[in-house]
């Protein structure tokens, strides 16, 4: 529903993903293929005035399906945090200006996160408070790659940031004798 008080939104809900998705070129190309079909459906609708948007909406749903399949292929089963980050970027760019009614929505803190193999703290023998402070200034993906030794290929920035925070917390606990 569109009104002047709150930011216009489109309700999406959860999306079932295909069985046996994989992070491959073919899977990524499927997103592009479906996006091209959206453009074709839009062109068809533009040529014939008064034609309903069913074909266009159907193609948009196919794009959403393929995007969700790709997300699942890289281990993401909850896009809400990434979508909120996207919304924040677009607000900063002035593309979204209305208020958002999130009364009935979960907060960011309650979102599921990307699912990865648990982090093991490989405490460096020379670990110190100074080293932890120095490492905390590193960008998240660089920290995870260099300090944790985690392959960060195809990992979302928010997931890397969380991994970095969890790892730093474990290091601090270990330095303080709590772990």
Segment 81-122, tens digit of pLDDT: 888 888 888 888 888 887 765 555 555 555 554 433 344 444
pLDDT band at 169; cut points 50, 70, 90? confident
- Higher-confidence residue of 108 and 148: namely 148
Burial class (CB in 10 A: 0-12, 13-18, 19+), 143: buried
- pLDDT at site 120: 44
CA–CA separation, 34 vs 111, rounded Å? 28
- Higher-confidence residue of 164 and 66: namely 66
Torsion angle, alpha carbons of 102, 106, 110, 112, to 10: -110
Burial class (CB in 10 A: 0-12, 13-18, 19+), 25: exposed
| pTM (global) more than 0.85 | no
Burial class (CB in 10 A: 0-12, 13-18, 19+), 56: buried
Sequence-ordered list of residues with C-beta below 8 angstroms from that of 109, at least 6 positions apart, any chain? none
The whole-chain average pLDDT of the chain stands at 79
- pLDDT at site 28: 92
pLDDT band at 142; cut points 50, 70, 90? confident
* pLDDT, mean of residues 30-55: 84
- pLDDT at site 124: 47
Least confident of 10-24, 68-82, 119-133: 119-133
């Amino acid at each position: 529903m569109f009104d002047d008080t709150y930011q216009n939104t489109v309700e999406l809900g959860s999306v079932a993903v295909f069985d046996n998705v994989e992070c491959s070129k073919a899977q990524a190309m499927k997103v592009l293929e479906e996006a091209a079909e959206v453009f074709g459906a839009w062109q068809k609708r533009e040529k014939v005035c008064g034609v309903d948007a069913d074909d266009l909406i159907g193609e948009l749903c196919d794009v959403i399906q393929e995007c969700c399949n790709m997300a699942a292929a890289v281990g993401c089963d909850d896009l809400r945090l990434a979508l909120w980050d996207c919304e924040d970027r677009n607000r900063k760019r002035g593309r979204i200006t209305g208020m958002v009614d999130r009364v009935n929505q979960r907060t960011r803190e309650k979102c599921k996160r990307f699912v990865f193999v648990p982090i093991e703290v490989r405490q460096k023998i020379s670990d110190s408070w100074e080293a932890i402070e120095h490492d905390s200034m590193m960008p998240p993906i660089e920290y995870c790659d260099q300090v944790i030794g985690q392959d960060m290929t195809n990992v979302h920035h928010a997931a890397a940031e969380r991994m970095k925070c969890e790892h730093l917390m474990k290091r601090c606990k270990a330095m303080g004798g709590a772990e």
